[in-house]
Amino acid sequence: MADSSDETPAVTGVSPSPRTAVVVVHGMGEQLPLETLRHFVMTGLPTFEGKREYFSRPALITGSFEARRMLAPRRPLSGPISHGQTEFFEYHWSYKMTGNRLSDFVPTFVRLMLRTPKTVPSGLKVIWTLSWLVIVALAAAVVATIIAGVRFDDFTLGGVLVVLFGQGIVAVALLKLLSWLGSVVTRTFVDVSRYLDRSPRSYSARRDIRKGMVDLLRGIHEDGRYSRVVVVAHSLGGYIAYDGLTSYWSELRSAEARKRAPGPTEPFAHLGEVERMAREIGAHPVEVGELGESPLAALDRFREAQFELWRDCRKAGNPWLVTDFITLGTPMYFADLLFTKNRSEFGRLVQNSELPQCPPCAGDEMVEGVAREVGHGYGYTERGRHYLAHSAPFAVVRWSNLYFPAERGFFGDWFGGPLRPLFGRGILDIPITGNLPGRRAPGLAHGRYFLYPDSHGPHDVATVLQRLMRLTIDDELP
């Protein structure tokens, strides 16, 4: 099989074919470079004649010597395509999150434990209940021991266990188990706590991680070879990608306004449709079911209008390339607990457009002004040229969210769930009901989204993910 050069068209005898760049952002934990990318390519790239065809190339855009990009040429070269020319990049950020301590997780854990049962995230209800049982049992044991007149020379967890169980194998085993659990929490969940922690200790790491994501998006946009960008993020990567997208949108929109190319531009033909559909889906908060079986047809029309508005912007000279944001198993579904202290504080940030939603809030919302209905002011005109507002990246970026539902609050992904209640009714939430029995593994299902590349049932991750990425739309790209 011949290689497809980076400089020549993928289809011989015609103008260069469109290229789609897919950026994959890995989740929490000590991830190795390319570890997530390889699993993702196997899951997200459609097969052609029974196999996946792609090359491994240097990824100079990322600025990392260990990074690679996976280049999948268009297949077939003519006629109906299995997939267009696609290049996969990974944003590897875990090496920037160093110095984690178990104590970093304590504030988040305390906020979770002090919630009422009704406000606990659905996937964490069993863990919340078990944690309270353990806390109450330990407290009762300590109180009973003190009442019995036993004195602790060293009031530590180890000292309590020794008093309760003696210095035998039970106490040793419990200490080993607790030490192992502490190391797991430090390697994984502390990443989430620290990234969302706005204290001085975590600020530097968060800034470096977000800057790396923005730099990668900027490099892809400025490279000049790509027609479209799809961002896919797993777990904590959802937060990182969200921050990168919204930050780079503001940067690029400001740069576009400063250039002020001469002459007026045509109004965006589909802006009114996007705003109208945003108002309609806001007025009818019907939950979304399986992909292709949505009872909310307005959401489908809103997503179609988003893509058409993106095409309008490209025709007007806007360099923004991102059309789709896909999250999998992201803890953003309880962002009001992680990012803020409560729902009201989260709502204030949303209302001020500091946390952009899908669909966006009103584009000209004042911080102390009267709240306006969603679906107004996404665009404005300045000196005859038309722009989209700083707060409106999701007027053109379709947001899809996949997750393994935590059945009975336990069997499945504890850390992924629906995003529409917090981040907007324009998000397509898709509970993955296939991939049995693996998706029901309690807690462990969180790391299994890219482990079923050859499962292609109608409700499996690979099937849904490939449909959402839409790698067959070359004819619709500028």
d(CA 45, CA 20): 12
Give the position of tokens 């002090």. Answer: 114
> Residue 9 has what pLDDT?
41
Tokens at 74, concatenated: 């268009």
pLDDT of residue 4 exceeding 50: no
> What mean pLDDT, rounded, does the chain reach?
82
pLDDT of residue 307 exceeding 80: yes
Encode pLDDT of 396-405 as tens digits: 999 999 999 9
Angle at 474 between CA 92 and CA 56, to 5 degrees: 35
pLDDT of residue 386 exceeding 60: yes
Do the Cβ atoms of 401 and 278 come closer than 8 Å? no
d(CA 16, CA 373): 43
Contacts of 446 (CB under 8 A, 6+ apart): 27, 235, 329, 404, 413, 414, 415, 416
pLDDT of residue 291 exceeding 50: no
Provide mean pLDDT across the span 92-113.
Answer: 77
C-alpha dist (Å) from residue 333 to 260, 339, 420, 445: 39, 11, 8, 16
- Report strand pairing: 228-234 vs 85-91: unpaired
Helices (H) and strands (E) in the chain, counts: 14, 10
Encode pLDDT of 408-444 as tens digits: 888 999 999 999 999 999 999 999 999 999 999 998 8
pLDDT of residue 89 exceeding 60: yes
Q: Nearest CA to 424 among 281, 289, 296?
A: 281
pLDDT of residue 7 exceeding 50: no
Burial of 344: CB neighbours in 10 Å, binned 0-12, 13-18, 19+? exposed
Do the Cβ atoms of 321 and 310 come closer than 8 Å? no
Q: What DSSP element (H or E) covers 244? A: helix 237-259
Question: What pairs with residue 231 in β-bridges?
Answer: 23, 325
Half-sphere exposure of 171 (CA within 13 A, CB side): 12
% of the chain at pLDDT higher than 90: 43
- Report strand pairing: 68-72 vs 55-58: antiparallel
- State the alpha helices, DSSP H only, in 117-168: 125-147, 157-165
Encode pLDDT of 103-162 as tens digits: 667 777 888 888 888 888 888 888 888 888 878 877 777 776 667 665 555 555 555 555
CA Rg value for the chain: 24
> Residue 440 has what pLDDT?
95
d(CA 401, CA 357): 14
Angle at 132 between CA 131 and CA 133, to 5 degrees: 90
Provide mean pLDDT across the span 356-362.
Answer: 89
User: Structure pTM?
Assistant: 0.86
Encode pLDDT of 227-264 as tens digits: 999 999 999 999 999 999 999 999 988 776 666 555 56
- State the alpha helices, DSSP H only, in 260-387: 271-283, 297-315, 335-338, 343-351
Do the Cβ atoms of 470 and 232 come closer than 8 Å? no
User: What is the CB neighbour count within 10 angstroms for residue 14?
Assistant: 10
Question: What pairs with residue 322 in β-bridges?
Answer: 229
**Residue 13 banded pLDDT, cuts 50, 70, 90:** very low
d(CA 239, CA 183): 23
d(CA 376, CA 360): 9
User: What is the CB neighbour count within 10 angstroms for residue 352?
Assistant: 14
Encode pLDDT of 155-190 as tens digits: 555 555 555 555 556 555 665 666 656 555 556 666
